[in-house]
Each structure stands twice: as C-alpha cells, then as structure tokens.
Amino acid sequence: MKVQQGKRTGIVRIGLFNLLMRLLISPLAFVFSLLIAKYLSSISIDTFGAWQSIYVLITGYFLVPADVLSAIAGRYAAEGKKIGGLIAINSLAGAVVLSVYFIIVPFLSSFGGSEYEVYFYDAGILLFLYYVLDITKAVSLGKSPRVNAIGNVAFQLVRLVTAVVFIYKFNLSILAVILAYSLGYLSQILTYVKFTKADFSVDFKIAIASIRKSVVFITSYIQGIIEASMIWIAVYLLRSYDPVSYFESALIISNIVIWSSSASDGLILKLAESKDARVLETALKLFFAVGSLFLLFAVVDGLPLLYILRSDYISAFTALTILSVSNFVRSIYGIFYRAIYMADVTLNVESTEELRGPTARLIRSNVLISAIGVVLSGGIIYFLSKSDLSPSYGYPLVATVISVGLLVNSLGMVITSFLAAKKLYNFNFPLKEAIVPILATAVVSLLFLTWFSIHGMPKLRTLEEIKEILLISLASGSLYLAINWILNPYVKELVKRVIMEIKNL
C-alpha cells in the first residue's frame, strides 16, 4: 500500500546544517587526501597503490559486513527502540572478521609484493574500529543526524593533525595513514556515543530480531565483494599496483560529489516520524540542487587537482569524470534505498517475512546488476593485459574501464530503486528540479573544459596555489547558480534557507 502525502517536514533544515558542516571541514578532508597522495606517491607510485589496495581490500571486502546491521540500527534508533545489543553484536562481528583477515593476509599481500605485507597486518586496527564506528554512526544518523555531522568534524580534525605528526615527525610511510585513520575513527565513535540521544540499553528481543533482519542486508555484502573485485582483478592480471594508483587518484577527487549526500541526512529520522511522501520529494529536490553543484566542482577542478596529486595522474581525468557521475547517481540511489527500508513493514521487529520484502528484492537485484558491471570490466581488463600497451596509456585506460563498470552498476541500481520506491510512496518525481541542475552542470563544465583546452589548465603543485582552484570553483559555481536562479525556482528558496542557516550557526 502506498504512503500518501502529508504535512511538510524539517528535512531541509537538517540537510542544510549537515551540508554546511561538511563544507566547513571539506578543506581538511581534501588537504588530508592531497597530503597522503603526495606523500606516498613521493616514495613511489607503487607505495601509493599498495595503500589504496589495502584500503580497498578492507573497505570492499572486510568492512562490508559492518554495514549489515547499520540500516536496521538506524531505523530502530529513529523509532526509539533499544539498540545497545546491536552495537555489541557488531563489535563481536568485527573481532571475528579481523581473525579471518589475519589468516588470509599472506595470500593477498603477495599479489603486489611481499614488502608491503607488514602494513596489511597494521591495518587490522583500522578494520576493528570501523565495525564499532559503523554501527554507532548509523544510530547517530537515525536518531540525531546533526550529531552525525559533528562527529565527522571530530574525525577530520583528528585524522589530519595526527597524519601530519606521523608523516613529518616520524616518517612512518603507510603506517602513518593507518594510525591517522584509526585515531580519527576513535574520536568519531566517542562523539557519537556521548552526544547521540538514543537508547543504548540492551533488549534481547530487538537484538535477536535485528540478527534475523540482517539476513536481508547480507546480500549487499556480496555486491560489495563483487565491485571490489575489479581492483584485485586488475592487480592480479597486471601484477602491479600502478593501475590502482590512477584509479584511486580519480576516486579521491570524485568523492567530492559524495559530500553532497549530507543534504539527505535527515531522511531516516523524518520518515520515522511520518511516512510522508513529500519528505522523499524534498530530499530529491535538495540533492539535485546541491549534488549537481558538487558534480560540477569535481569536473572543472578535476584536471588541476589531479596534477597536484602527481603530474602523471592527469591522464586519469576520464576515469574521474565517469566516477563523479557514478557517485552522483549512486547518491540518488541512496535516497531511494533509505526510503524503501524505512517503509518496509517486513523489517518490523515482529515480522518474519523480511526475505520477501521490497528491501530484500532490491538488494538481490543489485547483486545481479553488479555482476554485469564486473564481468564487463573484468573482460576488458583481461583483454588489455594481453595487449602490448605502454604503462602510460594502459594504466589510465584500466582505471577508466573499472570506472565504467561502477557506472553501469550505479545506473542499474538507481533505476530498480526508483521503481521500488514508486510502489511504496505516492510521490511525484521532481523532473524540472532534476533536469535544470544537471543541464547547468553540463553547460558550465563544457565551458570551462573548452577554456582549458584553448588556454591550458592551471598547473599547480603546491597548496599555496590552491587559491587558483578556489577561483575556478567560485566562477563555475556562480554560473551554475545564475542558470538555476533563472530556470529553477526551488534554488531561490534554497539559497534563502542557506543564508538563514548560516546566520543561525
């Protein structure tokens, strides 16, 4: 049965607060990414690729199970249920997964060279802390979404400061990055536990029900493994971490787009209060307005930012563009996905039909879609590995192929999630509010890329010259807002709300 439209909610206010907090600390996140990429790449491209392979291994394989309880934990926290048992279960799962990780490290680390094996073991602490972080973050997002933003501020501050110390004081190579992440995660966990207004007491009935419901989300673990496999297929076939370096350099910058997903952070809490279809419509309008702007920044700033990381990486610009679009599309999927599991009655504590619900069906379809993308990319990478391509051309091409596979997956996921959401909510897709921002991004991007092709792009190598990139962002963002101001009335209202939110900080 579809959820009907109802009263207006405060999702925009929550979204703008979290987005503004994200913007305030975004320079810290970006400086950290640049610092790590330049530091490790200065040791060797292989060292940077080794770290990214470790990170992909952990996040793509061993951290995916951490998300199994996250969705249900966020929902139950928003509904005021006792979620202490879920945190204990996820922490125990982290310890079990850590044991498995240590067992297979010798095999996986041998793909790219045994000299990096010790760092694979060091990353174990990062793995365990993330299991605790993931569940507490989900609870915070469901019950106190503003605290979620504050926790991210703590993470970025601690991670950057400790990275500087471990790099310049102790010169710890990959270990410096691992320790910086770990201490950042710890600060984030403490923030969520202390300030989230959730019921952290234990209810065994809810804990047991959550384990049963988690079976639905375990399938997404398979999807994560499938997608992460593209990286390891490339490493195995080419016997080098270098293609990963090109891919990850593009991914670092394309993740700018993901920052805009903070605009929908209030979705879970508001849908818990009322299954109001207009909440979903508002979340979509807000994301298209904000997400398209961040997509623009990723594209127009992409070339100079890649050059800052390493001059060789500018050949990964095609991969960067594709990944940016993929991240944009997948963020839209994230909105539909949250709306679906919040309205899925089979995920209620008392239900036993969770495997037949819309969330379960959606996740199963995602696995099939991901398999298609990986087979497509894997086949092309295999063909390229048998070709006589120079590394300067072949490695960026492999990065592009991996990116295409992810984009195929993202497009399939957003289509299936949209169709599933339409069955649960009586909402109208905001077509005008979606098309105008996307067209504005396309037009402004073409203008700036054409300018770069004629006059040359800024070749920046120091953080002091980052002001040139800020000027590019300011100019492109102004054109984007001007187009939307004329053609998209929603943006006028949004700008007024942003100004009001800044005044209230």
Q: Which residues span the domain enclosing 62?
A: 11-504
119, amino acid identity: Y
224, amino acid identity: G
- Determine, yes or no, domain membership for 6: no
Instruction: Provide the token pair at 492.
Output: 């006028």
pLDDT tens sequence across 4-47: 444 444 788 888 888 888 888 888 887 888 888 888 888 887 88
Over the range 2-38, which residues count as b (16 or more CB within 10 Å of their CB) and which as e?
Answer: ebebeeebebbebbbbbbbbbeebeebbbbbbbbbbb
- Determine, yes or no, domain membership for 196: yes
- The answer to whether 82 and 89 are in contact (CB under 8 A) is no
Q: What is the pTM of this model?
A: 0.83
- Determine, yes or no, domain membership for 426: yes
**Closest to 397 measured CA to CA, from 409, 417, 383, 411:** 383
- The answer to whether 41 and 309 are in contact (CB under 8 A) is yes
- Determine, yes or no, domain membership for 242: yes
Which residues is 199 bridged to in the sheet? 82
- Determine, yes or no, domain membership for 5: no
- Determine, yes or no, domain membership for 4: no
Instruction: Provide the token pair at 29.
Output: 């996140």
Residue with tokens 């793995």: 127
Q: What is the mean pLDDT of the chain?
A: 86
pLDDT band at 120 (very low <50, low <70, confident <90, very high): confident
Q: Tally Cβ neighbours within 10 Å of residue 218.
A: 13
| Number of domain units in the chain | 1
113: left (phi over 0), alpha (psi -120 to 50) or beta: left
pLDDT tens sequence across 310-364: 888 899 999 999 999 999 999 999 999 999 989 999 888 888 888 889 999 998 9
pLDDT average, residue stretch 364-372: 88
pLDDT tens sequence across 128-158: 999 889 889 988 988 888 898 999 999 999 9
pLDDT tens sequence across 185-215: 999 999 998 888 888 888 888 888 888 888 7
Q: Give the up-direction half-sphere exposure of residue 2: CA atoms within 13 A in the CB hemisphere.
A: 15
- The answer to whether 55 and 120 are in contact (CB under 8 A) is no
Provide the angle, in degrees to the nearest 10, between the axes of the packed helices 489-504 and 466-487: 130
- pLDDT given for residue 6 in this prediction: 41
pLDDT average, residue stretch 80-108: 86
Residue with tokens 């298609």: 372
pLDDT band at 112 (very low <50, low <70, confident <90, very high): low
Q: Does residue 407 have a pLDDT over 50?
A: yes
Element (H, E) at 115: none
User: How far are the Cα atoms of 126, 331, 375 from residue 149, in angstroms, in the given order?
Assistant: 21, 17, 37
* Span of 253-262, 271-280, 311-320, 401-410 with lowest mean pLDDT: 271-280
- The answer to whether 135 and 66 are in contact (CB under 8 A) is yes
Over the range 261-295, which residues count as b (16 or more CB within 10 Å of their CB) and which as e?
Answer: bbbbbbbbbbbbeebbbbbbbbbbbbbbbbbbbbb
Find which of 76-80, 197-201, 233-237 is predicted with most confidence, using mean pLDDT: 76-80
- pLDDT given for residue 312 in this prediction: 86
- pLDDT given for residue 111 in this prediction: 62
pLDDT average, residue stretch 476-493: 92
- Determine, yes or no, domain membership for 222: yes
Share of the chain above pLDDT 70, in %: 93
Q: Give the up-direction half-sphere exposure of residue 135: CA atoms within 13 A in the CB hemisphere.
A: 25
- pLDDT given for residue 477 in this prediction: 93
- Determine, yes or no, domain membership for 478: yes
- The answer to whether 193 and 200 are in contact (CB under 8 A) is yes
